[in-house]
Amino acid sequence: MFELAEAGNRLEKDDYEKAAAELRPALLALEQKLREAKDMAVAVLIGGVEGAGKIETANLLMSWLDPRSVEVNAFGPDDESRGRPPFYRFWMHLPPKGKLGIFYGSWYTDPIVRFASGDMKKAQFAHELEKIRTFERHLAAERVLLVKFWLHLSKDAQKKRRKKLAKDPRKAWMLATPQEHRYFKLYDEFYAASEEALRVTSTAEAPWTVVEAADRRWREATVARTLLDAMSAAMEARPAAGPKPMAVPKKKPRTALDAIDLTRTVARAVYEKELEELQADIGRLAWEALERGVSTALVFEGWDAAGKGGAIRRLTQGLDARNYRVVPIGAPAEEERARPYLWRFWRHLPPSGRLTVFDRSWYGRVLVERVEGFCRPEDWKRAYSEINDFEAQLAANGTRLAKFWLHITPEEQVRRFEERRDTPHKRYKLTEDDWRNRRKWNAYLAALDEMFARTSTSIAPWTIVPAEDKLGGRLCVLRTYRDLLKSALKKSRKTRQAVVLD
């Protein structure tokens, strides 16, 4: 793969200047179009061997483009994730629509370095590359254009380049970083690891461009030309079908919910006693989770007025406010609309040992957005596997997840709507949306059925909460969370040493 990039290509000064005179205004024009249309983002990855001119290439793009639409993201040791999955920091730095993000160091760096240095086994490396493919497919589907450059130098060219650097007082520091010398000695290992990585991740939606980097002018012209072509092709492509609301089935669809017994009730006295025990258990377990760095996330979905808020309040009542966060999910903000759908959930993931409660969640994509036609069909269709990948990353990271669907009958819902209407301090909870959603009950049932079928996994199963009886529903939620904490802590006691926080 890299042999082609050792052909000795060069560009003479005149040719370079001619090319630059054409490329610069063309790139600027596209960038302006991007900024104005705001319907896609561009992520430019600059990878390659040490000394091939990665920093210079980032600087070139910064100087040729209008810096107002460019963000440079450089990644050193990970001091941002604080216990969240490794992709967290890349998610957080995704460029918004209308902008161009340059990634100097990226999601490829760690796997390649570790595999080349012998710190990662081949099977694990293959798995990491698979995760990258999934991530990039996801970005591409949400109109993040990926332009990936690999700057290549032959072993000889790299040696020459090092000699030249050592003599240039402005650049000698580049050789002084601790990893530089080590990487140089591992040239062959890096060669093999990079080739494997590029082979597996050169996909239709996110291909690599290997750039012969020995000659600065050739390198720069190649990068600029490739970026220009990729951007102009992507900006011509337009999303196909528009959003369309779901048809409401006339007949009530059969679903997993039919099997739920909604008739059982709990006596107030029994409830009070068990609630007290559960809150005490959860309070105690939550401290241990904090000490051991066991993070948890809870998803609350359910029919309007099914009692999500009340259940969340009972659950958090005994917790220290510093250690959990309730995130209500409503209509997305400007900055959220500008990024891939899951961005707004990634940003709220709990750091080490904490809890995040999502009051509505990423399942909105396959429920309300599907039913109301707030997104295009391919968006919600793709969402099941994106969601499963997302939850698998949480699980792999040790973040335990429980997902609740609070279930009631349509008759009970009406009773609760009427109660809200008639109680001054509850009136705000009832909106026109609630009545509209209600008329689409059967559409929601159909969407729910598919959701349960496709996203109830062994690592992140759904808990259907019989919430017709409010008290019983709350106990079910708290019991599930207590058991989740217990099992997570049991596992953590086995596998890790306790960490004592200061």
Minimum distance between the CB of residue 116 and its own copies, rounded to whole angstroms? 19
Task: Return the number of other C-beta atoms located less than 10 Å from residue 369's C-beta.
Answer: 20
Residue 430 in contact with residue 222, Cβ under 8 Å? no
Among 122, 167, 170, 185, binds its own copies (CB under 8 A): 170
Would you say 312 or 448 has its CB closer to its own copies? 312
CA atoms within 13 A of residue 444's CA, in its CB half-sphere: 19
Q: Angle 135-137-139 (CA atoms, 0-180°, nearest 5)?
A: 70
Quick one: which segment of 65-73, 122-130, 361-369, 483-491 binds its own copies (CB under 8 A)?
65-73
The H-assigned helical ranges of 293-376 are: 308-316, 334-337, 343-346, 368-372
Distance, CA of 301 to CA of 304 (rounded, Å): 9
Does the protein bind its own copies through residue 489 (CB under 8 A)? no
Residues that contact its own copies, how many (by CB under 8 A): 62
Q: Give CA torsion, residues 487, 489, 495, 499, to 10 deg.
A: 170
| Rounded Cα–Cα distance for residues 241 and 124 (Å) | 39
Q: Give residues 111-150 in contact with its own copies (rule: CB under 8 A).
A: none
CA distance 218 to 235: 26
Whole-number minimum distance, CB 184 to its own copies, in Å? 17
Q: How far is the CB of 49 from its own copies (least distance, A)?
A: 16
Q: How far is the CB of 225 from its own copies (least distance, A)?
A: 15
Residues 242-301 that bind its own copies (CB under 8 A): 276-277, 279-280, 283-284, 287
- Residues 17-36, interacting with its own copies (CB under 8 A): 21, 24-25, 28, 32
Query: Which CB, 319 or 445, lies closer to its own copies?
Result: 319
Residues 6+ apart with CB under 8 A from 312: 300, 326, 357, 359
Q: Binding of its own copies at residue 410 (CB under 8 A)?
A: no
- Sign, Cα dihedral of 68, 70, 73, 74: negative
One of 309, 332, 373, 461 touching its own copies (CB under 8 A): 309
Binding residues among 311-340 for its own copies as defined by CB under 8 A: 313, 316-318, 320-323, 325-326, 328, 330, 333-335
What end-to-end distance do the CA atoms of the chain give, in Å?
51
Q: Which is nearer to its own copies, 105 or 207 (CB)?
A: 105
**Smallest gap, in angstroms, from Cβ of residue 362 to its own copies?**
18
* CA–CA separation, 294 and 485 (whole Å): 8
Comparing CB distances to its own copies, the nearer of 43 and 326 is: 326
Cβ(391)–Cβ(460) below 8 Å: yes
Q: How is residue 240 annotated by DSSP?
A: -
Of 86-94, 119-127, 309-317, 440-448, which segment contacts its own copies by CB under 8 A? Answer: 309-317
Residues at the contact surface with its own copies, assessed by CB under 8 A: 21, 24-25, 28, 32, 55, 58-59, 62-64, 66-68, 72, 74-77, 79, 82, 104-105, 169-174, 176-177, 276-277, 279-280, 283-284, 287, 309, 313, 316-318, 320-323, 325-326, 328, 330, 333-335, 359, 424-425, 427-429, 501-502
